[in-house]
Amino acid sequence: MNIQMGNNMKNIKIGSRDSQLAVTQSLNSLHKLQEIFTEVSFELVKMTSPGDRDKISDLKTSPQNFFTKDLDDSLLNGKIDCAIHSAKDMPKIIEKGIDWFWLPWSEDSRDALVIRNGFELTSESAPVIGVSSERREKFCFEYYPNSKLKHIRGNIEERLQQLDDGKYDIVIIAVAALNRLSLQTRISQIIPSKDLLAPEGQGNLCISFRQGDKYISQMRKLFVRPVVFAGSGPGNAKYATVATVDAIKNCDICLYDALSPIELLDNLSGAAVSKFVGKRSGQHSMNQDEISLMIAKYAKQGKKVVRLKGGDPGIFGRLSEEIDLLESLSLPYKVIPGLSSLSVATTGTGCLLTRRGISRGFTVMTPREAITGDYHFQNISERGEFPLVYFMATAKIKSILESLISEGRSEKEDISIVFSAGSKEQEIITGTFNNIYNKIPQALLGNKPGILIIGKNASEEFLYKQNGVLSNKKILLTCSKTIMKKATRAVENFDGIPIELPLIETKLKDNIENYFLRLVQYDCIVITSPASAKHFIYAIKNYKIDFRTIPKIFVCGLGTEQELIKHNIYPDATVDKNFGAEGMLDIAKDFLQKEWNILRLRSNLAGDDLSKKLTTFVKNIDDIVLYETISVLHNKLPEFDCAYFASASAVKSFKEQFGIEKLKNKAIAVIGEPTKKELEGFDTIKGKEAIVESSIDAIAEYYLNFFIINIYFPS
């Protein structure tokens, strides 16, 4: 599956303020964007804004768009396609017609003291400090009560020049700005975040663009994650699903309702935050529009957002109102159904809604009206328009529809049939009474369970929109179980469908305890894969080895390093380019010492070539098979769009079980060069780093470039 270049190349004009900092950070971002979007050209357009021309006005009283107005105007009149800003300069109220998102590369968000050369800051000194914001003023009053505060304006270079000229003894400048201008040496002291909280967006970069711009909207999909609407169950944490708990564990921010069990927030990671946005009858912490805008805002910042709703979000949960805004902005989302209070109040009490010989169905409604909240009881006509749901009825679709028509229902009435609901094989067929039967593949009837939904609510227009880069793409994950969860989550972050098909499994080898009991006799351990690192940690714990006896560690790449760091073990040397044997040999000549005893840990498939080559640099190497790789057999190859291989052994297993021809006309992604070599003759997608997340990023970039070229500029 190759990207075919169209006849034209889209040129995107990126606006930037003309200060040295703005130009530097914009050029840096432009180069990174060009690496990702290889079939699009970028052009930097420099201009000023009121804040650049007016260097006298106090920033504390300046307009919100002081540094964005001219760029906004140029966007709206079509002179530029997008603009790059420091995210903290973006106004709270964005100009109508403009959309935005944060770029993923960020800098330190803290502030720094820059002290004039020759000035000594002590508890008794009374420095003249240049400040430009109320928060920095408050910090100075609290920590430097003897100081004299003076207003300061100008770009970073101008502020530093005023400091050097003696107008100030100290100025406070964002660390990010100094880093981006390679002026780190001017930092005298970084102010801890607990002492001076940075404004939202400091250290981040933001791209603004015309709302609805099809190119930039598509590009944004690489930098945002699907908002997860999750049902928390009815008032008790034990009713939450595994999927909901997993989403909470892996989010950056959780926006939760009044009916969500507060105990679920205990699953948040240490870095994640929660925010209450609950609504009770007559008591709203914020209105619905505010909640929807907040969800979109955090999504645009690249955060992993969980919108936690009580019960099931689709039953009286105002879910449609919140996803409508995301759909209008082409932002991705996914919905995790929850256990409804309906089930708890009925199945949980014995008041069963269906009971053999008594009832074959039920009706659910609320007497409250939307907007006003007044009570209004439905008449028989309105109840007759409620959605109808049929279980276990796909074999009799024709008869059901004929019966409903005979009762007066229209032949043009909407109907959706959901086959294998909730599974990876879920399929939805939509239509009307008069055409639905002919749309259903006969292979589905009688082979997959189906649910019929009839009524206006079943219209195709209401089906959830797929706005992620990998939406509807089935990514076959062939990796071992040790990294499968990580790969699955990475695919889901781009709204893809992970198809888990582990082709290999690993097992710690017998009779290796001796080597671990005498670790102190080695000077260095060589670990050459993330799987080796995992088994090394397992062996250390299994054999009850004192972590303090672990010698130096030399690893082959960042993925292997990350596995060790999870357990607070930091390698002494890591290959950061040319991952694998070649990169290790480059570092070995400077890192290893001739008199060292080395323990090399590997799989049974890795071979001892690296160990033989390392003997050039050290006295002795014990080359040990730490674990064995075994093929996992499967009866059937599921459908897929792209296959991801994290090892050469997984490729071999695929070939043996299904045949290499099954990969023809499919996208193929690999984790590194050894895996790529095993697929010689095929075009492969490879990430910048030999880690799972980088590989999945590369798949997303591939599909987005493919979409831009073949949809917008077809040959």
Q: What share of the chain has pLDDT > 70, as a percent? A: 94
What's the CATH class of domain 506-631? alpha beta
The model's pLDDT over 201-214, given as tens digits with 9 standing for 90+, comes to: 999 999 999 999 98
474-503+632-712: which CATH number, 3.40.640.10, 3.30.565.10, 3.40.50.10090, 1.10.274.10?
A: 3.40.50.10090
Give the confidence band of 81 by pLDDT, cuts at 50, 70, 90.
very high
- Residue pair 308/256 in contact (Cβ under 8 Å)? The answer is yes
Please give the CATH architecture assigned to the domain spanning 370-462: 2-Layer Sandwich (3.30)
Residue 454 CA to residue 433 CA, distance in Å, equals 9
- Give me the phi and psi of 190, to 5 degrees please: -85, 130
Window from 182-186, 188-192, 423-427 with minimum mean pLDDT: 423-427
Cα-based distances in Å from 202 to 104, 193, 640: 13, 12, 41
Window from 31-40, 284-293, 487-496, 574-583 with minimum mean pLDDT: 574-583
The model's pLDDT over 100-138, given as tens digits with 9 standing for 90+, comes to: 999 999 999 999 999 999 999 988 889 999 998 999 999
Query: What's at 624, amino acid-wise?
Result: I
Q: Domain map of the chain by residue range?
A: 10-106+204-220, 111-190, 227-344, 370-462, 474-503+632-712, 506-631
- Judge: domain 10-106+204-220, CATH 3.90.870.10: no
Q: What DSSP character marks residue 266?
A: G
Pairing of strands 427-432, 414-419: antiparallel
Give 582's contacts (C-beta < 8 A, 6+ positions apart): none
- Give me the phi and psi of 430, to 5 degrees please: -120, 155
Residue 500 CA to residue 638 CA, distance in Å, equals 9
The model's pLDDT over 128-175, given as tens digits with 9 standing for 90+, comes to: 999 989 999 999 999 999 999 999 999 999 999 999 999 999 999 999
Answer yes or no: is pLDDT of 371 > 60.
no
Residue 362: what pLDDT? 76
Residue 538 CA to residue 155 CA, distance in Å, equals 53
The H helix count followed by the E strand count for the chain is 23, 32
Long-range contacts at 194-201 (CB < 8 A, ≥ 24 apart): 195/139, 195/143, 196/110, 196/111, 196/135, 196/136, 196/139, 197/135, 198/88, 198/109, 198/110, 198/111, 198/174, 199/88, 199/133, 199/135, 200/87, 200/88, 201/86, 201/87, 201/88, 201/89, 201/90, 201/102
Residue 211: what pLDDT? 95
Give the confidence band of 273 by pLDDT, cuts at 50, 70, 90.
very high
Pairing of strands 205-210, 148-151: unpaired
Cα-based distances in Å from 530 to 506, 591, 622, 647, 703: 12, 21, 20, 11, 27
The model's pLDDT over 504-534, given as tens digits with 9 standing for 90+, comes to: 998 899 889 989 999 999 999 999 888 899 9
Residue 578: what pLDDT? 62
In degrees, to the nearest 5, what angle opens at C-alpha 278 toward C-alphas 315 and 314?
15
Q: Give the closest residue to 14 by CA, choosing from 80, 111, 86, 105.
A: 80
Residue 445: what pLDDT? 77
Residue 374: what pLDDT? 67
Question: Per-residue pLDDT averaged across 226-252, rounded?
Answer: 94
- Give the chain's mean pLDDT: 89
Q: What share of the chain has pLDDT > 90, as a percent? A: 64
Residue 50 CA to residue 417 CA, distance in Å, equals 57
The model's pLDDT over 435-455, given as tens digits with 9 standing for 90+, comes to: 998 898 887 876 778 888 888
The model's pLDDT over 583-632, given as tens digits with 9 standing for 90+, comes to: 788 888 889 999 999 999 998 888 888 899 998 899 899 999 999 989 99
Pairing of strands 504-508, 620-631: antiparallel
Answer yes or no: is pLDDT of 478 > 90.
yes
Query: Is 227-344's fold the same as 370-462's?
Result: no
Residue 3: what pLDDT? 42
Reported as type and span, the H/E element at residue 429 is strand 427-432
DSSP string spanning 628-657? Answer: EEEEPP-S-----SEEEESSHHHHHHHHHH
- Residue pair 95/142 in contact (Cβ under 8 Å)? The answer is no
Strand partners, 428: 418
- Residue pair 420/427 in contact (Cβ under 8 Å)? The answer is yes
The model's pLDDT over 2-15, given as tens digits with 9 standing for 90+, comes to: 444 444 677 899 99
Tell me which of 664 and 672 has the higher pLDDT.
Answer: 664
pTM of the model: 0.82
- Judge: domain 111-190, CATH 3.40.190.10: yes
Give the confidence band of 679 by pLDDT, cuts at 50, 70, 90.
very high
Give 441's contacts (C-beta < 8 A, 6+ positions apart): none
Q: What is the 3-state secondary structure (H, E, C) of 292-324?
A: HHHHHHHHHCCCCEEEEECECCCCCCCHHHHHH
Q: What DSSP character marks residue 355?
A: B
CATH fold label, 227-344: Cobalt-precorrin-4 Transmethylase; domain 1 (3.40.1010)
